[in-house]
Amino acid sequence: MGKNLINRRDAIKTSALAVGGGLLLAYWSMHFVRAKLSFNEAIRAVPLQLDGNVLLFALGVSVFSAVLCGLAPALKASRLDPIDALRYE
């Protein structure tokens, strides 16, 4: 396995986790807010839905931060010799 393959797999994995986690968090948050604000009839009448632009922006920030935080350790680890890295563990 080459260094690029490991880094690419790590980037794909962190991106998938970020997208899945971001969508799940947005869905749960929407239902949480709807449940907490349902005590008032006027508030209950207001439709609550996810805006596409805000969702895309949040997903973009989520993927960027996940790739950045997931790829930095992978790049650092790919520069090391595996024997030396294990020796200092």
Residue 17 is given by DSSP the state H
**CA–CA dist 55, 43 (Å, integer):** 22
Q: Provide the residue-wise pLDDT of the chain in tens; the chain has 89 residues.
A: 566 777 777 778 888 888 888 788 888 888 888 788 777 777 777 777 778 887 788 888 887 888 788 777 777 777 777 777 677 65
Q: How far is CA 16 from CA 2, 10, 33, 85, in A?
A: 22, 10, 26, 28
Model pTM? 0.57
Instruction: Give the chain as a DSSP string.
Output: --HHHHHHHHHHHHHHHHHHHHHHHHHHHHHHHHHHTTTSHHHHTS-----HHHHHHHHHHHHHHHHHHHHHHHHHHHTS-HHHHHHT-
Domain count for the chain, please give it.
Answer: 1
Q: Which domain holds residue 83?
A: 3-87
